[in-house]
Amino acid sequence: MRADTDTIDEFVASDYKYGFVTDIESESIKPGLGEETVRFISAKKNEPEWLLEWRLKALRCWEKLECPTWPHVDYPPVDFQDISYYSAPKKKGDGPKSLDEVDPKLLETYEKLGVPLHERARLAGVAVDAVFDSESIGTTFKEDLAKAGVIFCSISEAVQEYPELVKKHLGTVVPYTDNFYATLNSAVFSDGSFVYIPKGTRCPMELSTYFRINAANTGQFERTLIIAEEGSHVSYLEGCTAPMRDENQLHAAVVELIALDNAEIKYSTVQNWYPGDEQGRGGIYNFVTKRGLCKTSAKISWTQVETGSAITWKYPSVILKGDNSTGEFYSVALTNNMQQADTGTKMVHLGKNTRSTIVSKGISAGRGQNSYRGLVQVGKKATNARNFSQCDSLLIGDQCGAHTFPYIEAKNPSANIEHEATTSKIGEDQIFYCNQRGLETQDAVNMIVNGFCKEVFRELPMEFAMEAQKLLDVSLEGSVG
Amino acid sequence: MSQVDTANPAVEPVEAFTKLEQNGAALMPLRKAGLARFSESGYSTLRDEDWRFTNVKPIAELPFRPTIDPLGQGIGQDQLGNVTFGQLDADRLVFVDGHFNADLSQIGDQPSGVTVTHLVSGLAGLEREAGSLSGGDDNPFVALNDAFFTDGALIRIADNQCLTKPVHLLFVTTAGKDGEAAHIRNWIIAGANSQGTIIESHLSLGQAATVTNVVTETRIGDGANLEHVKFQDQSAKAFHLASLHSELGRDARYAFHSIALGARLSRNNLRMRLAKPGIECVLNGLYMMRGQQLADHHMIVEHAAPHCDSHEYFNGILDDQSRGVFHGRILVQPGAQKTDAKQTNKNLLLSDDATANTKPQLEIYADDVKCTHGATIGEMDDDSIFYLRTRGLDPSTARRMLLHGFAGEIVERIRHDAVREELDALVWGRLEAVHKFD
């Protein structure tokens, strides 16, 4: 047992390598939230009247809501008046027209993070929208995508260029009344990505957004909207990091996906916000609402690898409204040190012959608390709905926790719902077995964890799968079950 | 939370309390605290997480009539001759509307050290025990029970003693007025290495919308082995609320079986605390609902010591517009290593309008444990029917076999032969009578 404790201590000491701060002049507003904050953000972005109205409605609604307490996480109450709701790198003049005009310091930051923003990154074959604090700083491959008819830009730009598309779809999947944090986001969202895939189009490359929080005392409230027209296909990746700071920072994003008839959206996340130190000081509060709507025969697939954040509170969901539609959720969530995660999914079956698959893998180490919370709901008219859920937990060390809170509600007799959950730990016998085959203990742990997560990693695009695997290896450095 | 219907106070709490004081002044602090807690909380609503799927509004809307006094019309032995377990060779305590009926009860020779009686008579010196296990619960019905319970069973088995015969607790409601509520409190105290079988059955003779609110506290000593069968078959208008609070000793064995067939709404709260090593606890349940019925089983099994096993098996057959609710929570406290906890809930939906809500939860704070849960909801499996048909069975026989098998899985876990056989025949008959197999 002594050896176990020692190695766990080591594990706790492993580093967060994205914790640097970029020294760049930025423009932030004073902390505080009120009508003038919302008007300021809206004016800053030169938004049309309807969007300002929508934000204000959200703000009035938010003022009446109470902060939810039901998640299985524990943190001091957030002072929403102590957060700056807008921060952006200071622009020179009118702002950059293309990436070449972007402040080299910003580009350097993304270079350091390993995000290829330059066109020379063509080889990587991924189009990137980089969001720095509240502002999108640039999107790559715009021209190439435009040839295919795909719109990929920041949501602020979309509001200016394609107002009718934004107006038609914004808030249709996650209304501004949805929940405390989604409502807050609706009032003060600053930027995010917008994707539109025209009818029958297969997006020629992977789309990706890279979120970076840099400024202190700010919250990041991005909003992403993806619309896949009939018969189209898109794969979208999302990555996130933040500097190491002693105070907690709030990140409350909203993601809306709309998959029209026969469309397919694949949304992958590798979330690596700063998790806080071993005492639980600092780190990001990641309170995110993600939801997709499937029309007839459409498919939405969420894949997430959650290794960062002090607190994660996130339930990527799918509303299976159209007949024969499919929803999938694959998740790996790792909590270490004092990290807490309450994550899972909702699959709402409304159409006939709808199918959903849930595979959730939770890994708890140190004093981390990891919860799966999910809902599978089968409506009265959802004949022949099928669901399979599997939530497995892996415990490393004896001070962590793994919890499952599944809700299953069926109103149709032809529904077929299965839920399975197991909890296990990395056994000494497993390690011993690997040791005698000549594997170092650390490699053995990595191998077992990777094996445990294989079903989820398989769903990630290849580059991301490699990154996710590396990320887990780094996070698990020095740990032995 | 909603308030008590003060517009229709069929019985004044103050008046009720004056009468209840005669049952034992020492219980008054408990009663007053219960009433205070209830006035504070009121009835639970759908907004309370623990009552999300079970709406007790119909109970809140009934006039408030606890049966503080026995109701006028007595019942005779002839009315009880044919009831389930009526012929079982057992010691029998009969309670009518929450009041002990000595004429109908029969207590034979139990070994010395075994007390089988009703609570009011055996209370002296035990008042402090009341609420010692159920006290921490914020269930409003436990608070109501604290305030208004009239009587119930008291079973004490001394160390190293056995019940020579099973004890049958028969609770009957005769009430003819809506809202008449029997508040019953049972105590079961089993000493170290004691053994026994206890059968608890709840039936209605009247057809009114009555309320039965029963709280049972069981304290099971080291190495004791107890089987507890609860059979609820009240009228389709009745409301049944039950709460079982158990604390188990080292290496104790406890099997609790809940067979819920009746009542418009039934709710069983099961609270198991496994705070000593080596315990084996089995919770086993079958609910068969039709019409507008709802059956809700809500359990928390707390593993607070290492090397304990807990197994929960609940099967539900839901027809017409009925609903089945299952909430199972296994809580493994830090240090409860080598826990082996298993939980399954299977629901069979036989009609387009039936609903199942299930919430199997695991909350684990220890790393060397084996915890699994599984839940299924669906109609009868076509593959299984096909398999049986390839063996030459006709469709209705195949369906019948599967349905009986589904219910039988639960019934056959009952260890007491006579009880199991009687229940098996009853469940079989009920399925045959109610379900069309073609």
CA distance A401 to A367: 7
CA distance A409 to A352: 16
Cβ–Cβ contact A5 with B under 8 A: no
Total domains in the fold of chain B: 2
**Hey, are the CB atoms on B349 and A400 less than 8 Å from each other?**
no
- Residue A81: what pLDDT? 85
Q: Which residue has the higher pLDDT, A294 or A33?
A: A294
- Residue A284: what pLDDT? 84
Nearest CA in chain B to A374: B359
Cβ–Cβ contact B417 with A under 8 A: no
Q: Which residue has the higher pLDDT, B234 or A109?
A: B234
**Hey, are the CB atoms on A380 and B352 less than 8 Å from each other?**
yes
3-class state of residue B420 by DSSP: helix
- The percentage of residues in chain A with a pLDDT greater than 90, rounded to a whole number, is 28
**Pairing relation of β-strands B239-248 and A193-197?**
unpaired
* Nearest CA distance, A301 vs chain B (angstrom): 23
Q: Phi, psi (5° rounding) for residue B63?
A: -60, 150
Q: Which residue has the higher pLDDT, B329 or A190?
A: B329
Tokens of A245: 């700071």
3-class state of residue A71 by DSSP: coil
Summarised one tens digit per residue, pLDDT across range B70-88 is 876 678 777 787 888 888 8
* Nearest CA distance, B51 vs chain A (angstrom): 13
- Residue A100: what pLDDT? 58
User: Residue B204: CA atoms inside 13 Å, Cβ hemisphere, count?
Assistant: 25
pLDDT band at A101 (very low <50, low <70, confident <90, very high): low
Task: Give the start-end residues of each E strand in B4-160.
Answer: 65-66, 91-96, 99-100, 114-118, 153-157
Residue B406 belongs to domain spanning: 382-438
Nearest residue, CB atoms, A398 vs list B352, B366, B379: B366
**Hey, are the CB atoms on A412 and B349 less than 8 Å from each other?**
yes
Nearest residue, CB atoms, A403 vs list B53, B356, B364: B364
Do B44 and B57 form a contact (C-beta atoms < 8 A)? Answer: no
- Neighbour-count burial of A37, counting CB atoms closer than 10 A to its CB (0-12 exposed, 13-18 middle, 19+ buried): buried
Q: Across the strands, what pairs with B183?
A: B213
3-class state of residue B357 by DSSP: strand
CA distance A126 to A270: 15
Chain position carrying tokens 């009745």: B238
Nearest to A475 by CA among A6, A1, A16, A8: A16
Do A303 and A266 form a contact (C-beta atoms < 8 A)? Answer: yes
Summarised one tens digit per residue, pLDDT across range A458-472 is 887 776 777 777 777
* Nearest CA distance, A344 vs chain B (angstrom): 13
CA distance A224 to A256: 6
CA distance B377 to A429: 37
Contacts with A355 (C-beta within 8 Å, 6 or more apart), sequence order: A320, A325, A326, A327, A385, A386, A387
CA distance B292 to A383: 22
Nearest CA in chain A to B365: A401
CA distance A342 to A77: 17
Q: Which residue has the higher pLDDT, A254 or A276?
A: A254
Query: Which amino acid belongs to residue A165?
Result: L
Q: Phi, psi (5° rounding) for residue B292?
A: -100, 15
Nearest to B377 by CA among A320, A319, A408, A347: A408
Instruction: State the CB neighbour count (10 A cutoff) for residue B413.
Output: 16
- Domain end, chosen from B276, B302, B329, is at B276
Cβ–Cβ contact B384 with A under 8 A: no
- Domain end, chosen from B252, B276, B300, is at B276
| Residues of chain A with C-beta less than 8 angstroms from the C-beta of B353 | 380, 411
Chain position carrying tokens 């006035």: B39
Do A478 and A14 form a contact (C-beta atoms < 8 A)? Answer: yes
Tokens of A2: 């002594």
Give me the residues of A, 280-319, that contact B with CB < 8 A.
none
Residue B8 lies in a domain: no
- SS3 of B203-222: EECCCCCCEEEEEEEEEECC
- Neighbour-count burial of A309, counting CB atoms closer than 10 A to its CB (0-12 exposed, 13-18 middle, 19+ buried): buried
pLDDT band at A134 (very low <50, low <70, confident <90, very high): low
Nearest to B168 by CA among B255, B226, B93, B244: B93
| Residues of chain A with C-beta less than 8 angstroms from the C-beta of B371 | 421-423
DSSP state of B379: S
Residues B266 and B393 in one domain: no
- Residue A1: what pLDDT? 35
CA distance A124 to A130: 15
Cβ–Cβ contact A408 with B under 8 A: yes
Cβ–Cβ contact A416 with B under 8 A: yes
pLDDT band at A98 (very low <50, low <70, confident <90, very high): low
Residues B86 and B203 in one domain: yes
- Domain end, chosen from B228, B248, B276, is at B276
CA distance B239 to B179: 9
Mean pLDDT per block of 10 residues along chain B (438 residues) reads 44 74 81 89 88 90 86 75 86 92 87 89 76 84 92 94 94 87 93 95 90 95 96 94 95 96 95 95 95 95 95 94 93 91 92 90 87 86 91 91 93 95 93 75
Q: Across the strands, what pairs with A226?
A: A195, A257
Instruction: State the CB neighbour count (10 A cutoff) for residue A100.
Output: 11
Residue B259 lies in a domain: yes
Query: Which amino acid belongs to residue B262?
Result: G
Do A196 and A150 form a contact (C-beta atoms < 8 A)? Answer: yes
- Neighbour-count burial of A247, counting CB atoms closer than 10 A to its CB (0-12 exposed, 13-18 middle, 19+ buried): exposed
Distance of CA B77 to the CA centre of its chain: 25
Please give the torsion angle defined by the CA atoms of residues A433, A438, A439 and A441, in that order, rounded to the nearest 10 degrees: 70
Cβ–Cβ contact B376 with A under 8 A: yes
- Residue A15: what pLDDT? 63
**Hey, are the CB atoms on B367 and A380 less than 8 Å from each other?**
no
CA distance B305 to B334: 9
Nearest CA in chain B to A401: B365
Most B-contacting residue of A412, A429, A430, A480 (CB-CB within 10 A), to test interface:
A412
Residues B272 and B393 in one domain: no
Nearest residue, CB atoms, B362 vs list A411, A412, A421: A421
- Residue A183: what pLDDT? 92
CA distance B322 to B265: 10
Tokens of B161: 């003693």
Nearest residue, CB atoms, B352 vs list A405, A412, A421: A412
- Residue B411: what pLDDT? 95
Given the cut 0.85, state whether the ipTM is greater than it.
no
User: Distance from first CA to last CA of chain B, Å, rounded?
Assistant: 46
Nearest residue, CB atoms, A410 vs list B49, B361, B377: B377
Cβ–Cβ contact B336 with A under 8 A: no
* Nearest CA distance, B315 vs chain A (angstrom): 14
CA distance A235 to A127: 11
Nearest to A337 by CA among A262, A280, A419: A280
Give the number of beta-carbon pairs within 8 Å between A and B.
111
Residues B197 and B78 in one domain: yes
CA distance A422 to B111: 46
- The percentage of residues in chain B with a pLDDT greater than 70, rounded to a whole number, is 96
Residue B272 lies in a domain: yes
Helix B382-390 × helix B395-411 angle, to 10°: 120
Residue B328 lies in a domain: no
Residues B119 and B240 in one domain: yes
DSSP state of A169: H
Residue B87 lies in a domain: yes
Cβ–Cβ contact A422 with B under 8 A: yes
Across A322-350, average pLDDT = 91
Instruction: State the CB neighbour count (10 A cutoff) for residue B248.
Output: 28
- Residue B246: what pLDDT? 94
CA distance A39 to A466: 43
Summarised one tens digit per residue, pLDDT across range A209-244 is 877 776 666 778 889 999 999 999 999 888 776 666
Residue B193 lies in a domain: yes
Tokens of B104: 């109908």
CA distance B408 to B405: 5
- Residue A429: what pLDDT? 83
